[in-house]
Structure 1
Amino acid sequence: MVTKVAVLGPAGFGGSYVVNELLNRGSYDVVGISRNPGKIGKHDRYTPHALDITNATIAELIEAFKSVDVVINAFNPPYGPNVYKTFVETVRRIVIAAKHSNLQYFLTIGGTSSLYLRDPATSYETAADSRPFWLAYRRATADSEAATYHMEERIGFGSPMSRSMRAYRSARQSLLSNPGSLTAANRKVIDETEKMVTEGPDPIPDIPIAARATYMFFEGNTTFPWSFVSPPAKYIPGPRTAKYEVHIDRVPLAPESERTKGSENEFDGRLLGISVADLAVAIVDEVEKREKIGKHWSAVAELPGEHERHASYARLS
């Protein structure tokens, strides 16, 4: 029996790999819903459904969902001054539409920011509440060519934010390769970048905060079958291994013994990750097994080639 799955954001970073994983398994028909769903390419079992998700009404979303069994929400708004409002309000409408549609399952891809750093029964602190965690995240991103290149591609090559990320990576590379010969210019880049995280008034961008806020639409909600997938801190382009480990509610971390030697930051060197291809495997596995209905979860895998550039977006052949 063929399952019909709609993917919101089918040509984006996460959505494109989910579409490919679904189609490659051979038992799914896929509907891609976005402003330009044909951007990913053509396939006999892929149907593009053009809809501007950020401006779609609830009625339009219900109409888009009416002929499908499962919806996977990989929506990610473009960067801009109103990105928080756009993200939260769009997901609100998507959730209402999902609740009023005859869906078998609704899966949404959130972000690391909503995962708890410790046992949620005793601590409410999430990744987005912790400056030390965010500093470790910034360092880990800068130390990975795959992660840095993906962020440059997503933000826009040559933009001020993209240039600052590349400068920080270059300075970090110099620090790690030969700490004793770090130039004053590179030390300044590192100090200024990290001071914004440790002492600045707004250390975490709006998109992670918005993604965390959307989890509130799901937590404790029993009115429809949902699953909230939060990628781990290191979510980067990379190979498909189809081997992963699931974590519920918590930020996946390596043992304390893996902490970067000499660092006072409890998260340095401990952030785990997964390739976008392997998270797509985990998501489609969940569509099939339905073991995590009503759960907030993440998945991690080995990241070979983390310092290499990989194609960030999948395309249909």
Structure 2
Amino acid sequence: MKIAIFGATGMAGSAITDEAVRRGHQALAASRHPREDASPHVESRAVDVADIDSVAAALGDADAVVVAVRPAPGQESTLPALTRNVLDAARIHDVRVVVVGGSAPLWSPTMPGHRVFDDPGYIPAAWRTIAQASLDQFTACQQHPHERWTYVSPPALFEPGPRTGHYERGTDTLLVDERGASRISAADFAIAIVDELEDPGEDNHFTVATLSSDNETMENRA
């Protein structure tokens, strides 16, 4: 499978690119500043996601697309429009899109009827700008005419860390362990993304997390 990954130099995008190659896929690593990669399975390309023609050209022979774009501080509000550009191009080529989103659109496990965006226990004031952008990004996906998209929400804490090969898949409610922690490493999140690309589930919005050893976890093609 050839997978176009937009935002391939960010934390999520880099991990997803590496995981895709690890599993034998071809990766088109697209970003403003291309990766320097010696792997013959990675094609690095400079792509401005704000330029729809540039995005469409990158998808010419792709089998699937991952949107892992994160705007610079102060430009968070551009995220929905950037995502729409990829969806527009994907619709032209009839390509499936997996969007690496945020946890804000998930339902809170502690405040019934409220999204994580409204739960200060998971979204402190300092994170609300990017959280609002993620919420708007999710709405942009829901309203877009291209129906072949999946929005994947990471847990509350998404960080660098080891590849354990374990994660649990949920639906549209934030996953937490018995201590209320909600986290995953970028490497384990990348496993979940490539799993979804290889074997798509039925939900167009789901979340994943690595829970503590007191909870059952699921190993997925580690």
Q: TM-score, normalised by structure 1?
A: 0.62
- CA distance in 2 between counterparts of 1:303 and 1:278 reads 14
- CA distance in 1 between counterparts of 2:143 and 2:154 reads 20
Structure 2 letter corresponding to 1:109: V
CA deviation string 1:69-109 (max 9, x = no partner): 000111111112xx233212211222222222231x21010
- CA distance in 2 between counterparts of 1:89 and 1:249 reads 23
- CA distance in 2 between counterparts of 1:244 and 1:253 reads 12
In structure 2, do the counterparts of structure 1 residues 119 and 99 end up closer, same or farther at CA, with 3 Å as the change threshold? Answer: farther
1:1-317 superposed matches below 5 A: 3-26=1-24, 28-39=25-36, 41-53=37-49, 55-56=50-51, 58-80=52-74, 83-103=75-95, 105-118=96-109, 123=113, 125-135=114-124, 197=125, 204-219=127-142, 223-255=146-178, 258=179, 270-292=180-202, 294-302=203-211
Flag structure 2 segments of 5+ consecutive residues without an equivalent: 214-222
In structure 2, do the counterparts of structure 1 residues 272 and 85 end up closer, same or farther at CA, with 3 Å as the change threshold? Answer: closer
What secondary structure is seen at the aligned counterpart in 1 of 2:154? coil
Flag structure 1 segments of 5+ consecutive residues without an equivalent: 136-196, 198-202, 259-269, 305-317
Structure 1 letter corresponding to 2:73: Y
- CA distance in 1 between counterparts of 2:162 and 2:123 reads 26
How many pairs does the alignment contain? 213
- CA distance in 1 between counterparts of 2:23 and 2:195 reads 10
Larger Rg: 1
- 8 Å contact kept, 2:6–2:31: yes
- CA distance in 2 between counterparts of 1:88 and 1:220 reads 11
CA deviation string 1:269-290 (max 9, x = no partner): x122111100100110111111
- CA distance in 1 between counterparts of 2:156 and 2:101 reads 12
What secondary structure is seen at the aligned counterpart in 2 of 1:224? coil
Structure 1 letter corresponding to 2:2: K
What percent identity do the matched residue pairs reach?
Answer: 27
- CA distance in 1 between counterparts of 2:109 and 2:211 reads 23
What secondary structure is seen at the aligned counterpart in 2 of 1:107? strand
- 8 Å contact kept, 1:95–1:217: no
- 8 Å contact kept, 2:169–2:207: yes
In structure 2, do the counterparts of structure 1 residues 133 and 19 end up closer, same or farther at CA, with 3 Å as the change threshold? Answer: closer
- CA distance in 1 between counterparts of 2:78 and 2:57 reads 21
Q: Return the structure number with greater strand share.
A: 2
Structure 1 letter corresponding to 2:128: P
Q: CA RMSD in A?
A: 2.3
- CA distance in 1 between counterparts of 2:212 and 2:31 reads 30
In structure 2, do the counterparts of structure 1 residues 116 and 38 end up closer, same or farther at CA, with 3 Å as the change threshold? Answer: same
Q: TM-score, normalised by structure 2?
A: 0.87
Aligned-residue offset at 1:302: 4.6
What secondary structure is seen at the aligned counterpart in 2 of 1:299? strand
In structure 2, do the counterparts of structure 1 residues 297 and 119 end up closer, same or farther at CA, with 3 Å as the change threshold? Answer: farther
- 8 Å contact kept, 2:70–2:76: no
